Amino acid sequence: MDLVVNEELKAYIDPLTPDEHDALERSIVAEGCRDALVLWGDMLVDGHNRYGICRKHGLPFQTVQSTRFQSMEDVHLWMIDQHLGRRSLSDYQRGVLALRKREIVAEQRARRLAEPAEGASPAPAGPSPALDTREALAKAARISSNQVVLIEKIRKQAAPELVEAIKAGTISINAAAAVSSLPAAEQVAAAAAGKDELKQAAKRARDSRRRAPADELAAATTTATPSEHAPSDASANTLESLQQRVATLTAENAALKLKIADLHAQLRAHAGEADTAPF
C-alpha cells in the first residue's frame, strides 16, 4: 500500500536520532509494526519512520483514518500534542512545540473572530486559551517559565547552526540564549568550533551585556553639555547678584544692631540721671 508522504509534514517534527531510529527498526523487525499509521485521506500523518522501515523490510502495517482533521492546522496541532508527550524530546524541543501550538491557536482564534459564520455568533476563541500565558506554556512543555522566555529569544535571534548545537546537546538553553545575542557570523563560527568555543562565546555575550549599562553611563557623561556640569553665564550672574545682596543685607543688619545698642546705652544713661536728681 503506497501512501502520500508530505515532506513538509514529515519535517514538521524533529526526526529521530540515528540511535532512536536504529532501536525502532530493530523492534519492528523483531516484533512487527504494532501501532497503526494515522492517515488523513491517503496522506500519512503519523508513522513516517514506521512506514519507511516497513517498506524497507517488506513488512505489513495497519492504518487508521482520522476524522477530526479539517485543515492542515488541525493536523499540526494533533502532531504537536502527540509529540509533547515523548520523553525522548529535549526541553528545547518541547518548548518550541508549545510555542508553535500557541501561534496556531492564536491564528485560528483571530480568523474565527474576524470572519464569523453568516447569521451566527462568533465561534469560541479557541480550544487552548490557557496557552496565552508563559506559565501555561511552561506547564504544557514541562519546562520552567524562564526557559520559555529563553527559547522565545533563541527562536527570534539564533542562527540555524546554533539551533542545531542546542538540539545536539552541545550547548544549554541558557548559554544558547546568550550566544544568540551575538552577530550571526560569530554564532556560526562558535557552533562550528564546538562546545568549548560556544562556552566562551556565551561568556563574551554575558560580559558584554553587563558592561553595556556602564558604557552608556560613561558615554552620557562624556557627551554631556556644559550646563550639566557647570552653571551657565546667566546662572553665574544670578548667583553673584544674590551673593552681593546677602552681603548688603548682612552689613545693614550689623548697622541696625549698632544703632540698637547705642539706643540702649542712651536709655540707660537717662535712667541714671533720673535716679540721682534731687526731689
DSSP annotation of 246:
H
> What is the predicted pLDDT for the residue at 109?
87
* Whether 94 contacts 141, CB under 8 Å: yes
> What is the predicted pLDDT for the residue at 252?
73
User: Are 61 and 78 part of one and the same domain?
Assistant: no
Question: In total, how many domains does the chain have?
Answer: 3
User: Are 55 and 76 part of one and the same domain?
Assistant: no
In a domain, 148, yes or no: no
DSSP string, 19-65: HHHHHHHHHHHHH---SPEEEETTEEEE-HHHHHHHHHHT----EEE
Contacts of residue 3, defined as CB under 8 A and 6 or more positions apart, other chains included, come to 37, 39, 42, 43, 44, 51, 63
In a domain, 263, yes or no: no
- On whether the pTM is more than 0.85, the answer is no
**How does pLDDT run along the chain (279 residues), one tens digit per residue?**
679 999 999 999 888 889 999 999 999 999 999 999 999 999 999 999 999 999 999 999 999 999 889 999 999 999 999 998 877 789 999 999 999 999 999 888 888 888 765 555 444 444 444 578 889 999 999 999 999 999 999 999 999 999 999 999 999 999 999 999 999 999 999 999 999 999 999 999 999 888 866 666 566 666 555 544 445 555 555 666 676 777 667 767 766 777 787 777 666 666 555 454 444
In a domain, 207, yes or no: yes
Domain boundary among 219, 236, 263: 219
In a domain, 272, yes or no: no
* Whether 61 contacts 33, CB under 8 Å: yes
- The grid coordinates listed for 125 are 476563541
In a domain, 119, yes or no: yes
DSSP annotation of 130:
G
In a domain, 264, yes or no: no
Domain that holds residue 192: 158-219
User: Are 60 and 76 part of one and the same domain?
Assistant: no
In a domain, 257, yes or no: no
User: Are 59 and 82 part of one and the same domain?
Assistant: no
User: Are 78 and 58 part of one and the same domain?
Assistant: no
Domain boundary among 142, 170, 198: 142
User: Are 63 and 77 part of one and the same domain?
Assistant: no
User: How open is the CA angle 21-27-30, to the nearest 5 degrees?
Assistant: 140
User: Are 11 and 26 part of one and the same domain?
Assistant: yes
Domain boundary among 176, 193, 219: 219
